[in-house]
Amino acid sequence: MADKQTYYITTAISYPNDAPHIGHAYEAVATDAIARFRRLQGKDVFFLTGTDEHGIKMLQTARKQGIEVSELADRNTPKFREMVEVLNCSNDDFITTREKRHKRSTQELWRRMAAAGDIYLDKYAGWYSVRDEAYYDESELSEGPDGAKLSPQGTPVEWVEEESYFFRLSQFQDRLLAYYNENPNFIGPETRANEVKSFVRGGLRDLSVSRTTFDWGVPVPDDPKHVMYVWVDALTNYITGVGFPDEDSESFKKYWPADVHIIGKDIIRFHAVYWPAFLMSAGVALPKQVFGHGFLYNRGEKMSKSVGNVIDPNALVGEYGVDQIRYFLLREVPFGQDGNYSHDGIVQRINADLANDLGNLAQRSLSMIAKNCGGIVPEPGALTDNDKAILAEADGLLPRVEAEIDAFAIHKALEVIWALIADANRYFAGEEPWAHKKTDPERMGTILYVTAEVVRQAAILAQAVMPESGAKLLDLLNVPVEARAFDRLGEAGRLKPGTELPPPQAVFPRYVEPEGD
Ligand code: ME8
């Protein structure tokens, strides 16, 4: 058998300077849905996530709390591990940047950049934003209401002057622009690509890549009074995670270059400019794609501690259910754009799309099979045009869903699946299987068979976004675990008449407001 096609996907690694918030959950869930989708397609997937433990932001938070920075990381990294578990993410590894393997990998990348002549020692004098962990040019800054200088992200900047190693980013302008031209899909969505290209066209300055005023970071090889700039270390996680610097290792050969880095729009520059330049310098292949998703807001407001609207993803899962949250986030927010979440929005999706549309379709057809067909998948009789049409729609869905996922339009992939579910509901209501119970039980059996078969296919397709509920639906249809991947869509996996089904259960309960609210 031919080797499986591989697929390597990553999230950003989050700063564990605090507990995870809904933005982190959103990125994890979106990345997980794509990873699961690729596995269901039959690919050999590696999905990496983790935490970015170095940097001044971590140091300053620890100082404010009066604790050691390592303690801050020890306290919060486990919360990120827990978050991905609670969200039912299928990550194959969880990397933290304090690990030994990462130090080794990052130092080797540095050595190669230095050997290529792209690193030199000089003095840095310029603006730095701790919140963004980013250097800014004077021309990029604006003035805040109190006269203080602000970064383009609106965060405070401070003047930094110290001895520093520099990376010759200025030498990479033409190579980067050529790379973007030759690989038009490298940066997505298009708005982000345009933003990056115009930034690079505007000219690149060499990048300060080390600091001497603290030691929380990866030491520069042969000059340990310098630690590396946190982004050099952070970006390198993507290759550490698959075995760098052991380029002959099976995992590195198999998975690098990554298929896609899924990140938020605020860190596109680091991923689409600095990261490819580092890799070009070190002679390592570049990732195939970088996709910058939008930001999630609480009813239009940016989440912040001072506003008191930071939402704990664990609490959301507890309140609404894990698949419900996964579905809501991925259906409601067009992937690549900003979006909002609110209690009302979540409840609306749970009750309309899940309970009414998919839940009812499954519940109505399966309870009729239980009641009228002895709980056994009925033998279909001759198919009418309506039967054939709805089956054909289900059978032909995969390429349409795949096209949306290939374009990172997760919301549209769900739209396509839910359009089938809506059509199946119309079919079921229009064919009125209950009306044939006495007069033509065979016709009733055919309608129930066709409906259950559509539920089977919808459940298989929905598994990437709702793994638990998809599995429950497939359990109710007694579909063997090994027959739940996309190769069983269509005729290949048709429900077998005569299969005994377990007693039907509601998979998607309606959300009922707690009393007193
Ligand atoms: O940027 N909505 O870490 P981070 C959606 N350590 N996404 C959001 C968001 C929101 N409200 N807030 C943050 C870092 N994110 C670096 C990354 S990668 C080599 C290093 C996203 O904890 C953000 O865009 O600030 C990023 O992709 C991820 O969450 C982690 O953010």
Tell me, using a 6 A CB cutoff, whether residue 295 lines ligand 1.
yes
Tell me, using a 6 A CB cutoff, whether residue 252 lines ligand 1.
no
For domain 352-500, which CATH number applies: 1.10.3720.10, 3.10.450.50, 1.10.730.10, 1.10.10.10? 1.10.730.10
**pLDDT band at residue 306, thresholds of 50, 70 and 90?**
low
Q: Is the pLDDT of residue 517 over 90?
A: no
Where in the chain are the domains?
A: 6-113+208-293, 119-207, 352-500
> Tens of pLDDT along 173-206?
999 999 999 999 999 999 999 999 999 999 999 9
Section 468-475 average pLDDT: 98
Q: Report the nearest-CA residue for atom 30 of ligand 1.
A: 14
pLDDT at 310: 60
Section 116-139 average pLDDT: 94
pLDDT at 301: 64
Section 246-275 average pLDDT: 98
pLDDT at 302: 62
Q: Which residues contact 441 (CB under 8 A, 6 or more apart)?
A: 372
**Rounded-to-integer distance, Cα 276 and Cα 196, Å:** 12
Tell me, using a 6 A CB cutoff, whether residue 276 lines ligand 1.
no
Q: Is the pLDDT of residue 139 over 70?
A: yes
Q: Is the pLDDT of residue 296 over 90?
A: yes
pLDDT at 305: 56
pLDDT at 303: 58
Tell me, using a 6 A CB cutoff, whether residue 234 lines ligand 1.
yes
**Rounded-to-integer distance, Cα 375 and Cα 505, Å:** 13
Other residues' Cβ atoms within 10 Å of the Cβ of residue 439: 8
Distance 27 CA to ligand 1 centre (A): 8
**Rounded-to-integer distance, Cα 433 and Cα 446, Å:** 9
> Tens of pLDDT along 325-361?
999 999 999 999 999 989 999 999 999 999 999 999 9
Q: Is the pLDDT of residue 304 over 60?
A: no
Q: Which of 146-160, 296-310, 358-372 has the highest mean pLDDT?
A: 358-372
CATH superfamily, with its number, for domain 6-113+208-293: HUPs (3.40.50.620)
For domain 119-207, which CATH number applies: 3.20.20.80, 1.10.3720.10, 2.170.220.10, 3.40.50.150? 2.170.220.10
Q: Is the pLDDT of residue 25 over 90?
A: yes
Section 133-149 average pLDDT: 91
Q: Do domains 6-113+208-293 and 119-207 have the same CATH topology?
A: no
